[in-house]
Amino acid sequence: KLAVNQRNAAGGVAGRDVALVALNDNGRPDEARRQAAKMAVDADVLGVIGPVKTGSAAAGQALTGHGVPWIALTELAPAELSGGFSLALSPETLGAAAVDALLAQPDIRSVVLLSDWPEAQAGAAATEAAVRSLPLASVDQVVATAGEGVAWLGEAENGARLASALGSQASMVGSSEAGSHMFAGRAGDAAATVAWLSAAPDVGQMPQDFVAQYLALAGADPGPQAILAYDATNLLLDAMALAGAGDGELDRKAVQRALLQLGNDGWQGSVDMIRWETGCQLAAGCQRMDEPIYQHAVR
């Protein structure tokens, strides 16, 4: 909302104001598909910011099916990214980073990784650390041994249940889902020993003018996902402006091409450069290259 307000105050895109429409799918896959398809019917919708949570991942392919450009803020498997763009960490990067974060703790010598992403398991294996990989469905059978950290790369609800079962003595690292209010609320006291990983920094590393403007609008400091959404929105708005420049036709295909071009050339975000992986093709989706990795406490 802040990015759209600022752009409209500066004259909009291609001489027109931009309208922001928000839809809530409650993190349910079926609802995510329905809401995305409903939004895609409106030809004036030129782009979408999302999916923003794991349970909404199905929205991406629904949008791709209707030719709508979209930028994900949550970690997605390669098959889920087809036709879209992502500013979140890739599963491979996330798997390796979670293992590294746990082993950086003095008492941790090995890691149990819970993930359904083969790419995350490959990333963890590449660290050459002592890692045992389990599917997410094993959540109720996990018992961390002494000196073993836990990496949870699944959705918030079951991750919070796992944190509660392990207790506040266990060391746990999660994906952006562990940074959600749902995770913090359901994990209770056990959340104090959980960290989560993101491609965006905490408030102390954000530009102070952004923090002040966000605070004035929202009444609270921005979290990491807020500045990621801000950057994604500005990237989409810049793509719309590029697509509509001169005599260009401002439509979905033009916006997709512009998003691809901006990311291939390198687009400066609020803190870090955003660049697509070398040789990315829209059909397969474009993941951010040189992904920055930030670690946060659960609040």
CATH code at 2-88+204-290? 3.40.50.2300
Q: What is the DSSP string of 252-297?
A: HHHHHHHHHHHHHH-EE-SSSEE-BPTT--TTT-EEBSS---EEEE
Would you state the structure tokens that stand for residue 13, as one six-digit string?
């895109």
Per-residue model confidence as pLDDT tens for the chain (299 residues): 999 999 999 999 988 999 998 888 888 889 999 989 988 899 999 999 999 999 999 999 999 999 999 999 999 999 999 999 999 999 999 999 999 999 999 999 999 999 999 999 999 999 999 999 999 999 998 988 889 999 999 999 999 999 999 988 889 999 999 999 999 999 999 999 999 999 999 999 999 999 999 999 999 999 999 999 999 999 999 999 999 998 878 999 999 999 999 999 999 999 999 999 999 999 999 999 988 999 999 98
Q: Indicate the residue type of 53.
A: K
Q: Which H or E element spans position 195?
A: strand 194-198
Please, where in the chain does CATH 3.40.50.2300 lie?
Answer: 2-88+204-290, 91-198
pLDDT value, residue 27: 81
Query: Looking up tokens 């249940």, which residue turns up?
Result: 161
pTM for the model stands at 0.95
Q: Which of 7, 185, 193 is nearest to 101 (CA)?
A: 193
Query: Looking up tokens 């794991």, which residue turns up?
Result: 54
Domain covering 91-198 assigned CATH 3.40.50.2300 in the classification: yes
Sheet holding 194-198, edge to edge: 131-134, 110-114, 148-152, 172-174, 194-198, 294-297
Percentage helix, strand, coil for the chain under 3-state DSSP, each rounded to 5 = 45, 15, 40
pLDDT value, residue 143: 85
pLDDT value, residue 28: 86
